Each structure stands twice: as structure tokens, then as C-alpha cells.
Amino acid sequence: MGYERFGERARDVVDAAADRARRLRHWYVEPGHVLLALLDTDEPETVRVLGAAAEDLRAGVIDALGGGTVEPGDHLPLSGATSALLAGAAQEADRLGHRTVEPFHLLLALLSAADTVLMAVLAAHRTAPRHVPRHVPRHVPRPAPDAGATGAPPAPDPAHDPYVWTMS
């Protein structure tokens, strides 16, 4: 999957996820690293949607991921689950009629993914995602009036998309 549709802030999240993986001495980028990066780059929105304190989420995700033992190189591969997550973010953007993938779309994709570190951490903190907004926060650019008027059917929900399941 190419990142040409990813906006600068979403690319920053993906880069920050790789940095987090390196700091934890992991040799690949997992969805949990993406959540840590979202907390680093878009904490207020992420915390508002997830309904748990940022430090609790960070500590829970780091604990769930564990510490690695490798010296990762400059380029870290994405796990299959992370590749599926990024594809899911693009599908969320499509569903909302947006051309550009933003951090909010990554968060929606994380919430749609099955069996993620995020859900285990939320369960451990006895919280659940608050009402997941199906509208776009103010800081996400809205499409031009004719954008998305392609007549194409809406993108499938990532949790029910067979392509996403095969990537996991």
C-alpha cells in the first residue's frame, strides 16, 4: 500500500510508530506502536475517544508489547496487522468521503481492528471507547463539495473486509 494518500500528520504518526518500536527494541511495527504514536501526536483527540488517561494507555500498551532485545535498523517492517490497519485507515477516509488519510482515520481503524493490544489495554482499565464519532473532528480537512462524488460504493468496514482478515 502506498502512502500517497496519507496527510503529513498521518505520515508523522507512522514515522513516530517506527520510532516507538525502535525505542522498545522491536524489529517490526505493530498496531500498539501506532497507538503510542497517536498518543504522542494527537493525545487530546485520542484520549477523548478512548476514555482513558493517556499515561494509563501508554503504560498499558508498553507493558502489553513488552521490551525487545534487538538493535533495530533504520527501516522497520510493518507487521501484517499494521499493514491491515493502514489499509483500514484509508477505508475509513473513503467511507467519510475524504481524499487524505489523517490521524483520526488511524484511530478509527484501530477501533475497528479485531483482537488488538488497544482492546486488551482498555479492558484492563475497565473502560471502553466512548461514543466513536462517525463525524470528523474540526482539525481534519473536509473534502471539497464535489470530492468523493464518484458514484463508487462506500468502502467496506475494515472489521468485515476479507482482505483485512487475510492480512492479520
pLDDT tens for the chain, 168 residues long, are 567 899 999 999 999 999 999 999 998 999 999 999 999 887 888 888 888 888 988 999 999 888 888 887 778 899 999 999 999 999 999 999 999 999 999 999 998 886 667 778 877 876 666 555 555 555 555 444 444 444 444 444 444 433 333 333
Q: DSSP secondary-structure letter at 29?
A: B
* Residue type (1 letter), 153: P
pTM: 0.73
Domains of the chain: 8-133+151-167 (1.10.1780.10)
What b/e sequence results for 23-33 when a residue is b if at least 16 CB atoms lie within 10 Å of its CB, and e otherwise?
Answer: ebebebbbbbb
Cell of 111: 477501533
- Report the C-alpha gap between 144 and 98 in whole angstroms: 9
